[in-house]
Structure 1
């Protein structure tokens, strides 16, 4: 079984996605039914919907959208990793009223805002509140920002973190050493996990198993199978691959693990981290 911890769905009639205008390849509806049909062929049995950086006024509406999907007969959707604004005074009221039967975690896209946003006392205080509420925080930052991620997780030791997309490595540029050093440092923090998700998007398009193997091997050697979760990053993975290719590549990249370790990466760790 595979638990997809990073599924994006897009419904432009219901929600507003300002960033899609600058991403023509992705600028269409990406429906649950389309995903579910493909997922069923690959052993994906469960999924968390990852927020899609909707307009701020639509954050609650996106949660309602996910709640509706969860009610579909035979739905794969187990909850939402919701957008939020931890840099805002409105965060605490949001956290107090959010539907915890739907919202299983939180993410704030941090590579589209100034670097200092995640370093402010208010942001860190609110991320600390997530830990006390039992909600993990997904970090999405560029590789150059990983020292900021390290500062954030050190400031919030009671919060569980998940580093998306293996820390967004510059695979196309071959910038392995600085990325690897930061991954090693982050792995020393036991409350940090890492997500093997959609890294084909950072290859520039020409990738093979051999291209990906050193990067994934470093993630495995530093974090270990007990702190890695799997995600499709669908449909962003379609920039330089597709969902079946990424699933197949993931099986190959994890082939040297034991059956128990692969099961932990593909579904067991996700159930533990997000309490599902």
Structure 2
């Protein structure tokens, strides 16, 4: 299960979700952004989860949000699981430089306790939101005890935040056995001048073979072609992402100077390109 906050997208399409999830077999719901601000996206494996009801609302006062969530949980009477940007911390160490909890943070902490929710620990990072030298852990997954009994191996981890202020957070229960591998293409292929030509020539050369056999042959050909034309690019992108995370980790640990933000912006620009 994947939750993305601050998508900054007013409309999310199935094509967008497929690019994130990587294959079929998913369900999804989203709340569109208001201009370039906000936006939520939730994706789940529909072999495990089945959506019966969906409730969406506009976020207003925090206390009002907690009341609405309590109402929804009481109305549905099912396993509870809340995921997203709660814009609040529950421990001092979740915000760099914090000297105590604000009133709203204490109210949020009390709400979690009143609801008997388990705040899943984040296994691979300390903070989920960054703005300059400011860091906070405001994105979280809260699950009920009943959920934990049904899915005892539930874990939470963060993904690379890339261009966003927030890190995506990923909830996993267990690894599923891989099925048949789908045919996939990469957007950047279509920017290469020889891509469409090589696809057309290969497809015609395969003649009257079955469609699935053609796809298998095309997959092998494009694998070699990708390695020749884009192989080093994959390594460069990975290197950029690792360096971006390294800067985030330094900021998380209190190491910050004026050059770091400029360095990160330069890395992001290179990664985008």
TM over 0.5: no
Give the TM-score range, shorter chain: 0.3 to 0.5
Q: Which has the higher contact order (CA 8 A, sep 6+)?
A: 1
* TM-score of the superposed pair, with normalisation by structure 2: 0.32
* TM-score of the superposed pair, with normalisation by structure 1: 0.32
Point out the structure with the larger helix share. Answer: 1
Which protein is bigger by CA-based radius of gyration? 2
